Amino acid sequence: MYALAFGIGTKNARDEWLEVYFPAPLFHPEPALVDTVASVVDYQGGNVDIETDTTRLQTLSQIWSGNSHASLMTQLAKTVRPVVVTILETDGKPQTTPETYLKLHLLSHRFVLPNQQNLDGIFSLLPNVAWTDQGAVDLEEIDQRQLQARMAGTVLEVAAVDKFPKMTNYVVPPGVRIAHSARVRLGAYLGEGTTVMHEGFMNFNTAAMGPNMVEGRISQGVILGAGSDLGGSASTAGTLSGGGEIYITIGKNCLISANAGTGIPLGDNCTIEAGLYITPGVIVQIMDEHKNTVKSVKARELAGQDDMLFIRNSRNGAVECRTNRKAVTLNKTLHGHN
């Protein structure tokens, strides 16, 4: 069994799911627990969503009396919102909105890393909604909701119109700092000790393994290794636009300086100087300090190698790669978020 979770969701007037919050998802749950749930909610196998009711939740609470599962069932039985149990027998292509939300939760709960699970087709399963101070609102219903709020003497605050919600409304990982929560989407993986500053951005299906300093943009599919620093306005190439198929990984103890970026994977202990963007096709002069020779290659030929220092020659504009003799070291006090 891949995953199992009970969630509280929001539906629109057409009885369609807008979003689902899974407070305690289970990754690879114990078979006995799955069997218990199956017997109560009439689960017949496969990847499914089963909207459940108070009676079933109370039954599960009685069966699990005295443990954490029972407490959650008791709390869910009291809600007036729709409750769904989502069961994923396999890591198949998502078919529903609750399935998609569960997989995004698994990432932000640190159960899986980016690119380790099937997320094919999720954009068509995530409705574009208005994220307000009253929760998710269907765009066809937003005008009426705003009017109702005004008539009641209040204002319906619309923070965003998007398919993805911010992560912190669903998951707050321990040991992290996020200066601007709207800039981290649900489905991001933030490791212990990670700091995301105000202009830092983490898309869904990304990871900062921790500890990390994120002041730039981590695009979909990108993994930032432990101890690495993504400087202000720096960026990493993703795969959502432009036809790119190579997932970018940045190794441990790397520095992507301010306004710099990379479109190739980097190994450990690499540095890219400020303002320099390394794309796969850029011509790089490899400097061999021992032999005092220079060799020109395309940057893609250096992908994944360790100890690289990329700089631009200030005299002739050539991009050079030398041996990086000093790796970045993050401030331990700054990234201790207990």
Could you report how far apart the first and last alpha carbons of the chain are, in Å? 33
pLDDT of residue 287: 78
pLDDT of residue 309: 95
β-pair type (283-288, 271-272): unpaired
The two tokens of residue 10 are 């929001």
Residue 16 buriedness (CB in 10 A; 0-12 / 13-18 / 19+)? exposed
pLDDT of residue 291: 64
- Concatenate the DSSP letters of all residues of 204-220 into one string: TTEEE-SS-EE-SEE-T
Please, what CATH class does the domain formed by 3-125 belong to? Answer: alpha beta
pLDDT of residue 240: 60
Beta-ladder partners of 161:
130
Q: Please report which residue ranges of the chain form alpha helices under DSSP H.
A: 31-41, 54-63, 68-76, 97-108, 142-151
Nearest Cα residue to 199 out of 224, 218, 223, 172: 218
| Cα dihedral 146, 148, 152, 157 in deg (nearest 10) | -20
- Reported as a single tens digit per residue, the pLDDT across 19-33 is 999 999 999 999 999
Q: Is 215 a catalytic residue?
A: yes
Please give the CATH superfamily to which domain 167-323 belongs: Hexapeptide repeat proteins (2.160.10.10)
| Cα dihedral 166, 11, 5, 122 in deg (nearest 10) | -60
pLDDT of residue 159: 97
> What are the boundaries of each domain within the chain?
3-125, 130-162, 167-323
Annotated catalytic residue, options 16, 140, 215, 245: 215
pLDDT of residue 246: 79
What's the chain's Rg over C-alpha atoms?
23
Q: Which residues of the chain have pLDDT under 70?
A: 239-245, 289-291, 326-335, 337-338
- Concatenate the DSSP letters of all residues of 284-295 into one string: EEEEETTTTEEE
pLDDT of residue 201: 98
Cβ atoms of 212 and 254 within 8 Å: the answer is: no
Cβ atoms of 3 and 27 within 8 Å: the answer is: yes
- Reported as a single tens digit per residue, the pLDDT across 80-133 is 999 999 999 999 999 999 999 999 999 999 999 999 999 999 999 999 999 999
Which CATH number is 130-162 given? 3.30.60.70
